[in-house]
Chain A
Amino acid sequence: MKFFTKQLLLAFILINVNLVSGQEGDESSENKFDFAQDDHYLNIKIGGDFVQPMGDTFTGDNLKSSGGFNLELSFNLFETPILLGARFSNSSHDVIDQSLVGNYDETFNSFIGGFAGYQFFSRQKLRLTPSIGVGHVAYKQSINSNSFRDSGTTFWVNGEVSYNFVKWFALYGNVTLQNDYLKMDVPAELESYFKSGHFVRFGLGVKFVL
Chain B
Amino acid sequence: MGKLFLVASFISLLMADCEPNIENDKRVIIKGEIVDPQANPIQAIEVTTSVEEYVLGKTTSNSDGSFEMVAPESYDESFLIAINVDAENNYTSAKIFRDEDEIGRPKIYDLGAVTLRPTSNFTLTTTRNSTTSDHINVQINYLATSCVYDFNNGLQEDPSQCYEQNYISRTTNEINSNLDLQLKVMRDIPLQITYQIDEEPATTIEVTPNQQNFEYEIFY
The reply to whether A148 and B29 contact each other, CB–CB distance below 8 Å, is no
Contact (Cβ within 8 A) B108 A144? no
Residues of B within 8 A of A30 (CB): none
Is B71 in contact with A102, judged by CB distance below 8 angstroms? Answer: yes
Of the candidates B23, B53, B58, the one whose C-beta lies within 8 Å of that of A148 is B23
Known contacts A99-B59, A99-B69; is A187 also within 8 Å of B29 by CB?
A: yes
Partner-binding segment picked from A80-88, A120-128, A167-175, A178-186: A178-186
Interface residues of A in 150-202 (CB under 8 A from B): 150-151, 182-190, 194
Q: Scan residues 81-124 of chain B and give those whose CB is less than 8 A from a CB of chain A.
A: 107-108
Nearest residue in B to A189 (C-beta to C-beta)?
B29
When the two chains form their complex, are residues A148 and B57 in contact, meaning their CB atoms are under 8 A apart?
no
A98 within 8 A of B: yes
Alpha-carbon distance A173/B65, docked complex (angstroms): 51
- B57: chain A residues within 8 A (beta carbon): 98-99, 102-103
Chain A residue with the shortest CB-CB distance to B27: A186
Whether B27 lies near A101 (C-beta < 8 A) is yes
Query: Is A149 an interface residue, CB under 8 A from the partner?
Result: yes
B83–chain A nearest beta-carbon distance, Å: 15
Residues 1-30 of B contacting A (Cβ, < 8 Å): 19-20, 22-29
Question: Would A143 and B54 be within 8 Å (CB), given that A99-B70, A102-B70 are in contact?
Answer: yes
Question: Which residues of chain B are near A187, meaning CB under 8 Å?
Answer: 27-29, 107-108
The answer to whether B56 and A186 have CB atoms under 8 Å apart is no
A182 to B25, CA, bound (A): 8
**Would you call A186 and B26 a contact (CB within 8 A)?**
yes
Question: In the complex, what residue of chain A is closest to B29 when comparing beta carbons?
Answer: A187
**CA separation between A186 and B24, bound complex, in Å?**
11
Does more than half of chain B's interface fall in helix, strand or loop, or is it mixed? strand
Q: Considering only CB atoms, which chain B residue lies closest to A187 in the complex?
A: B107
In A72-127, the 8 Å CB interface with B consists of 98-103
Q: Which residue of A lies closest to B20 (CB)?
A: A146
Say yes or no: A190 contacts B70, CB within 8 Å: yes
- Range for the number of chain B residues in contact with chain A: 20 to 34
A146 touches B54 (CB 8 A): yes
A-chain residues with CB within 8 Å of residue B28 when the two chains form the complex: 186-187
Q: Contacts A146-B19, A186-B107, A187-B108; is A102 near B29 (CB within 8 Å)?
A: no
Could you tell me the distance between the alpha carbons of A194 and B24 in the complex, rounded to whole angstroms? 13
Contact (Cβ within 8 A) B55 A148: no
Q: How far is the CB of B73 from chain A (nearest CB, A)?
A: 8
Q: Are A144 and B29 in contact (CB under 8 A)?
A: no
Inter-chain contact A183/B25, CB cutoff 8 Å? yes
A109 to chain B, nearest CB (A): 15
Give A188's nearest chain B residue, CB to CB.
B107
Of all A-B residue pairs in the complex, the 6 with the closest CB atoms, nearest first, are A148-B22, A187-B107, A99-B59, A99-B69, A185-B26, A102-B72
Given contacts A98-B58, A187-B28, 8 further A-B contacts (CB under 8 A): A99-B59, A102-B27, A102-B72, A143-B22, A143-B72, A187-B107, A189-B29, A190-B27
Interface residues of B (CB under 8 A from A): 19-20, 22-29, 48, 53-59, 68-72, 107-108
| 20 A-B interface contacts by CB (under 8 A) | A99-B68, A99-B69, A100-B70, A101-B27, A102-B70, A103-B55, A103-B71, A143-B22, A143-B54, A144-B53, A146-B19, A148-B22, A148-B23, A150-B25, A182-B25, A185-B25, A185-B27, A186-B26, A187-B27, A188-B107
